[in-house]
Amino acid sequence: MNAPKNILLMSRRAPYGSSAARDLLDIALTCSVFEQSVALLLLDDGVLQLLTNQDPQVIQQKNLNSLQSSLSLYDIEQIYVDADALTHHGIRHSELHLPVTLLNKVEISQLIANSDVVLTV
């Protein structure tokens, strides 16, 4: 058995306009099932995936907030957010649905550097 890898899942996409946010979560849950160390990194419009109060039933889509809430059940706790992107959108940390770690640009580049595999969605 190989040692667990550090898999980083990265997304820059807003939710619902495309399926990227949901597809990212599906990979994350699968990584967890395979007992890999998985981290999520949300950049640019990707930070919008974490806004609270989502109500996508009105456009007949699954609620991402509910899926996000299940991440901790799978021991996925490393959720990293680009602090500059939050500022860019004028969103406060408290308006996010999950506990996250804010990173600056240098920390983001180090997170990428320290990962074994990076998957983009």
Partner 1 sequence: MIFTVVVHASPCQNAAPESALRFCKALLSAGHTLHRVFFYRDGVFNGNQLISSPPDELNTMRAWQALAEEHSIDLVICIAAAIRRGVLDSTEAKRYEQNQTNLAEKFNLSGLGQLVEACILSDRVITFGGQG
Partner 2 sequence: MTSLHTLNQAPSNASLMQSCLSSLQPDDTLLLIEDGVYWLLDTHRAKFPIALNIKALRLDAQARGLLPLVPEVDLIEMDEFVHLSVTHDKIVSWF
Interacting residue ranges for partner 1, rule: CB under 8 A: 2, 5, 7, 16-20, 23, 26-27, 30-31, 33-34, 36, 59-62, 117, 119-121
Q: State how far the Cα of 121 lies from the Cα of 116, in Å rounded to an integer.
A: 17
Choose from partner 2, partner 1, none: what does 26 bind? Cβ within 5-8 Å by kind. partner 1
With 0-12 / 13-18 / 19 or more C-beta atoms within 10 angstroms meaning exposed / middle / buried, residue 68 is: buried
Nearest approach, Cβ of residue 11 and partner 2 (Å): 11
Residue among 70 and 110 whose Cβ is closer to partner 2: 110
Residues forming the site for partner 2 (CB under 8 A): 10, 12-18, 43-45, 48, 51-56, 58-59, 61, 65, 82, 88-91, 95, 105, 108-110, 112-118, 120
Q: Give me the sheet containing 6-11, strands edge to edge.
A: 101-103, 78-82, 37-42, 6-11, 117-120
Shortest distance in whole angstroms from residue 62 CB to partner 2: 11
Which stretches of 1-121 are assigned E, i.e. beta strand? 6-11, 37-42, 78-82, 101-103, 117-120
- 49 or 83: CB nearest partner 1: 49
